[in-house]
Structure 1
Amino acid sequence: MSDTPPTHVEKRGPTEFRDPMIRDELKKAAVWLGLAVAIALIAFLAQPLLLIFAGIVLAAMLDGGARLLGRVLPIARGLRLALVTLAAIAFVVWTIVFAGFELAAQAENLRQVVTVQINRILAWGNTLGLVQGGAEVNQLSQQLMGSLGRLTTAVGSALGAVTSMVMILVIGIFIAIEPRLYERGVAWMLPLRSRDTFYRTAAHMGYTLRRLMAGRLLGMAVEGVGTWLLLWAGGVPMAALLGILTGLLAFIPNIGAIISGVLIVLVGFSAGVETGIWAIGVYLAVQFVDGYLIVPYVARKTVDLAPALVLGAQLLFGALFGLMGLALADPIVAMIKAALEQKSKEESGLAGGAPEP
């Protein structure tokens, strides 16, 4: 055997990470693996993430109320925030304590009235051949709930709903007290070159969310109070309960209006044809004011969301994440659009200027 070393050149093997091609392939594989893990984590942690986002939405409401109060009451921000928080809690407590028993009794009557009216409609449809098999409202409600998607586990029971509300309240209050603290915490995890962009994007998103929620609260108040007063004037039963339900459902655009309208019309016709026609008129009048006066004004002041885009997002988030996803679809879409708008400004060099209020 010859002691002469081999003359051919040794090449790097497949396990040699110093090979540029191997490093590039590993980076690509790591990116795709990280994306798959991120998607799995988002799907697995969807409910906690929605609770956190709901807390952020509540914080935007409290912060917006404190800012608005500061225009007429020049006191420290902490005191203004405390006044707004206490006022909101006091309103909820007052509604539960003073109106709870009456509304609970009306709620049972409402369920009975709606059940009777829907069974009448189904029976009429059965006589015309539109509904087969003598379907009843209980079967119909099960089918509707099944098509809507699974409800979130956090609000699947009364205890879960109360726990979720408490968590949202605590998160919202803490974020509203010191929003800059959490903003700096997120920015700390970003590269230095990206932090200024993040601060501008977060400011724009917060501004948009505050305005959106202010408009949403305005619409809820107008629809709730207006529905209650007009139904009460027309002698429609359970006017107070229908007003509260209409105001609460106004938080969910499109779908909330449809649900409240069905309830108003069914209860109205339960008291007679004339009362039912009055209920239809009330619903149309309230929706006209909200759709042609409040919504366009809010859209001009915040972010103009296409109705089809909002409805599609509600159907998608409702099917994926249940009731909470349905309620938060509109703010989530608004935040995504605000972030994209700010990114477009950054890329076009128009990010400068005075900070948004």
Structure 2
Amino acid sequence: MKLNFLTKNLEQPDFVARAVTVAFVAAAAVVLAFLFWRLSEFIPIVFATIVLAIGWRGAAEGFGRRFGISPGLSLLAVAVGLIAGTAATLMAFGNQLIRQYDEVALDIPAAIALIERLVEEHPWGRFVEKLVLDVDYSKAAAPIARHVGAALGSLGGGLALAALAIIGAAYLAADPKGHIEGVVALTPVQHRTKMMSFLHRSGASLRQWMVIQLYVVVMNAVFAGVALWAFGVPAPLALATISGALAFIPYIGSIIAILVGALVALPHGGETAALAALAIGGASFIEGYLITPFLQSRSLSVPAVVLLFCMLAFGALFGAMGVVLAVPATVVLSVAYDVVTRSASPSLPHPRSE
């Protein structure tokens, strides 16, 4: 009887069409999973290229509206302005930055050696030393050495990927409409409206997020630099730039910046290390709890716990670059979720931020 039921279903065109569709979807899912696994190192570069293109295009559009010039000239003007600004900054502060970064490179190993000596002199330190006396530290350090060697060896590859991302961003920023139309054309007809909404809204959200991050990085660096200079902490300019750059990474970046500042100042005394940690931590507190919430009051807001778990997930999938790009990726995923859920529930009001 089961055989007859199967035979009847096979004779129906709808059953065959559904079976073919299910098989095609399953095969496509397997292929996409395989490509995702094989291209796991390339996906962050593509996403970084898109983010760079969106920021470049947004800055060029604002510049073009202000001065009434064409989009192509605006893109060129923004690029030239960034290069000129970077060159001017290096000419003004380059020697001082290099000297202070050299000081940072010398102070951190000295601080680690000081901590090791203090631990060995403490009774609990000697107790721990006896417990781990039989550990072969050469074997424990071998994986670290391999990772360091791999990182140094891949420096040229990283620079090549950065150049590729800049070139790709130039193409995307020069013709965003054409690339959007190409993505929409590859989308099934019944989902093209949602895809168009997702592309436009995610681009606007990423552009707004980048403007906020620019303010966050600059403000963090300024506050940290002023406090470090006022407290007399060594290498204030280098530590301020490190603190500002790490402010790009929520939560984790501030912790790393505080640890780096404390380590750099530790060889100059425990009080100096405490002041360095206080300066960078205070700058991170002001930026994280006063400036950022004010700037994000009218923008897309992602819950902190969601952002934290997304950072862990992207870090596990894509490494350090995944952590750096976790926030913009989470913003895009939030927009995608909102587009899908609101299209499924038409009665929901449209968000004001759009």
**TM-score bin, normalised by smaller chain:** 0.7 to 0.9
Counterpart in the other structure of 1:7: none
Amino acid at match of 2:330: V
Q: Secondary structure at the match of 2:187?
A: coil
Q: C-alpha separation between the residues in 1 aligned to 2:118 and 2:351?
A: 62
Assess, with a 3 A threshold, how the Cα gap between structure 1 residues 190 and 248 changes in structure 2: closer, same or farther: same
Match 1:189 to one of 186, 191, 196: 186
Q: C-alpha separation between the residues in 2 aligned to 1:89 and 1:192?
A: 43
1:171 equivalent to 2:168? Answer yes
Count of aligned pairs: 343
Alpha-carbon deviation of 1:216? 0.7
8 Å CA contact 1:231–1:279 kept in 2: the answer is yes
1:34 equivalent to 2:24? Answer no
Counterpart in the other structure of 2:37: 43
Q: C-alpha separation between the residues in 1 aligned to 2:280 and 2:242?
A: 13
Q: Secondary structure at the match of 1:47?
A: coil
Match 1:241 to one of 223, 231, 238: 238
8 Å CA contact 1:215–1:294 kept in 2: the answer is no
Alpha-carbon deviation of 1:203? 1.1
Q: C-alpha separation between the residues in 1 aligned to 2:319 and 2:208?
A: 26
Match 1:92 to one of 83, 86, 97: 86
RMSD: 3.6
Match 1:120 to one of 100, 110, 114: 114
Q: For residues 102-251 of structure 1, what are the structure 2 equivalents within 5 Å?
A: 102-126=96-120, 127=122, 128-129=124-125, 131-132=128-129, 133=132, 157-251=154-248
Counterpart in the other structure of 1:308: 305
Counterpart in the other structure of 1:52: 46
8 Å CA contact 1:154–1:161 kept in 2: the answer is no
8 Å CA contact 1:50–1:324 kept in 2: the answer is yes
Counterpart in the other structure of 2:344: 347
8 Å CA contact 1:265–1:280 kept in 2: the answer is yes
Counterpart in the other structure of 1:322: 319
Amino acid at match of 1:273: G
Q: C-alpha separation between the residues in 2 aligned to 1:47 and 1:144?
A: 20
Q: C-alpha separation between the residues in 1 aligned to 2:103 and 2:181?
A: 51
Q: C-alpha separation between the residues in 2 aligned to 1:97 and 1:87?
A: 15
Q: Secondary structure at the match of 1:349?
A: coil
Q: C-alpha separation between the residues in 1 aligned to 2:241 and 2:313?
A: 27
Q: C-alpha separation between the residues in 2 aligned to 1:138 and 1:106?
A: 32
Alpha-carbon deviation of 1:52? 1.4
Alpha-carbon deviation of 1:174? 1.9
Q: C-alpha separation between the residues in 2 aligned to 1:206 and 1:138?
A: 49
Alpha-carbon deviation of 1:211? 0.7
Q: C-alpha separation between the residues in 2 aligned to 1:323 and 1:292?
A: 25
Counterpart in the other structure of 2:268: 271
Where do 5+ consecutive residues of structure 1 fail to align? 1-9
Alpha-carbon deviation of 1:154? 9.9
**TM-score between the two structures when normalised by the length of structure 1:** 0.82
| Cα deviation 1:292-331 (Å, max 9, x = unaligned) | 1222123323221222222222222222212211111111
Alpha-carbon deviation of 1:113? 1.2
Counterpart in the other structure of 1:289: 286
Q: Secondary structure at the match of 1:215?
A: helix
8 Å CA contact 1:314–1:325 kept in 2: the answer is yes
8 Å CA contact 1:155–1:164 kept in 2: the answer is no
Assess, with a 3 A threshold, how the Cα gap between structure 1 residues 354 and 326 changes in structure 2: closer, same or farther: closer
8 Å CA contact 1:12–1:19 kept in 2: the answer is no
Q: C-alpha separation between the residues in 2 aligned to 1:351 and 1:277?
A: 51
Alpha-carbon deviation of 1:263? 0.9
Alpha-carbon deviation of 1:165? 1.4
Q: Secondary structure at the match of 2:77?
A: helix
Same amino acid, percent of matched pairs: 26
Assess, with a 3 A threshold, how the Cα gap between structure 1 residues 139 and 273 changes in structure 2: closer, same or farther: farther
**TM-score between the two structures when normalised by the length of structure 2:** 0.82
Alpha-carbon deviation of 1:346? 2.3
8 Å CA contact 1:203–1:356 kept in 2: the answer is no
Assess, with a 3 A threshold, how the Cα gap between structure 1 residues 124 and 71 changes in structure 2: closer, same or farther: farther
Amino acid at match of 1:59: A
